[in-house]
Amino acid sequence: MLDIVLLGSGGGMPMPHRFLSSLLINYKGRKILVDCGEGTQVSMRMVKWGFKSIDLICITHGHGDHILGLPGLLATIGNSGRTEPITIIGPEGIENIINGLRVAVPYLPYGINIIESPKKLLGISVLLKGMEVREIIHEDFINKDMVISTLELDHSLPCIGYSLYIPRRPKFYVEKAIFNQVPRELWKRLQNGETIIYKGRTYDPSMVLGDKRKGIKLSYITDTRPINTIPDFIKGSDLFICEGTYGDNRDLKKAIKNKHMTFAEAAKLAYEGNVKKLLLTHFSPVLDEPEIYIKNAEDIFMNTIVGYDRFTKTLSFSC
Ligand SMILES: [Zn+2]
Ligand SMILES: [Zn+2]
């Protein structure tokens, strides 16, 4: 199970009723923050999910509306008593940007590990002290709590999208293990995906496990034009969070010029990616009531929600 709260749904500048881009994810009591625009920590205070348990921060790009909340938030996390390091992932150039912002908060009681422009999948393990982030080697993701992948987007700065996948282990069948004459002492290791040679016989996980089961997938795409690598990247997402900077179809020219999307373009991606639900966010400051344009998205992809600050949702395994 995964809980999300959209802390800020605005693009450009913060408005009285709308803070800037930020999403908070809660998994097993540990937190991942995606983007940190102005207002993020105010919104976090309102939802009361806590600051100390943020282990990982994923930044899409270096525009102010996605990162200017970071120095203040890092200081607040420090005041919460955290001493364990935090990992920050971001596109090319993120280390420079973080170092610049750190001038305002030079002394923090915890370290920061930066992963710039990751080329491999990242596996997340939830440990007692928090989340551990490691590159995935040998496709061993069934033993990871979560897998994060990134995609280069088309914006006016280097920008990456994120997808988070929580794998679900196949069911363990005692009957199957007994039927296949698998020694009891090997059950646990086979359940963990190991193949074992024992007393001259090879045992593999399929001898004790059922069929593959679908996990939970969440994807987050902002800011970008709708490039053709996105549908594959978001394929089958339970929730696809996507920028819809402009609601009105007549703003397409502006969207192209400013490297953003209209609601209709985001909906087309949702349709092509065969996702379950689309959550629109990152609204232009002039878009006072984005919900009045929902039909422009629904005409293409029915299962659309127009996001708002502190919109919350729980994603669960399907069956
Ligand atoms: Zn933006
Ligand atoms: Zn931007």
Segment 58-110, tens digit of pLDDT: 999 999 999 999 999 999 999 999 999 999 999 999 999 999 999 999 999 99
| Catalytic member of 55, 65, 223, 251 | 65
The whole-number average pLDDT for the span 182-206 is: 91
> pLDDT band at residue 293, thresholds of 50, 70 and 90?
very high
Q: Are the C-beta atoms of residues 32 and 164 closer than 8 Å to each other?
A: yes
Q: Which of 273, 281, 278 is nearest to 22 (CA)?
A: 281
Residue 137: predicted pLDDT: 77
Q: Are the C-beta atoms of residues 234 and 221 closer than 8 Å to each other?
A: yes
**Cβ neighbour number for residue 68 with a 10 Å cutoff:** 17
Ligand 2 mean position, distance from CA 132 (Å): 29
Name the amino acid, one letter, at 211.
Answer: D
Residue 231: predicted pLDDT: 98
State yes or no: pLDDT of 115 exceeds 90.
yes
Give SS3 for 222: coil
Segment 13-39, tens digit of pLDDT: 999 999 999 999 999 999 999 999 999
Residue 193: predicted pLDDT: 82
Ligand 1 mean position, distance from CA 277 (Å): 22
Phi, psi values for residue 8, rounded to 5°: -145, 135
Domains of the chain: 2-170+212-315 (3.60.15.10), 171-211 (no CATH)
State yes or no: pLDDT of 151 exceeds 70.
yes
Residue 318: predicted pLDDT: 80
Q: Which helix H or strand E contains 122, and what residues bound it?
A: strand 122-127
> pLDDT band at residue 140, thresholds of 50, 70 and 90?
low
Average pLDDT over the chain reads 95
Ligand 1 mean position, distance from CA 182 (Å): 55
Ligand 1 mean position, distance from CA 65 (Å): 5
State yes or no: pLDDT of 307 exceeds 80.
yes
Ligand nearest to the CA of 243: 1
Ligand 1 mean position, distance from CA 63 (Å): 6
> pLDDT band at residue 169, thresholds of 50, 70 and 90?
confident
Check if 55 is active-site: no
The whole-number average pLDDT for the span 120-126 is: 93
Burial category of 219 from C-beta neighbours within 10 Å (exposed 0-12, middle 13-18, buried 19 and up): buried
Q: Are the C-beta atoms of residues 307 and 280 closer than 8 Å to each other?
A: yes
Segment 279-289, tens digit of pLDDT: 999 999 999 99
State yes or no: pLDDT of 142 exceeds 70.
no
Residue 143: predicted pLDDT: 75
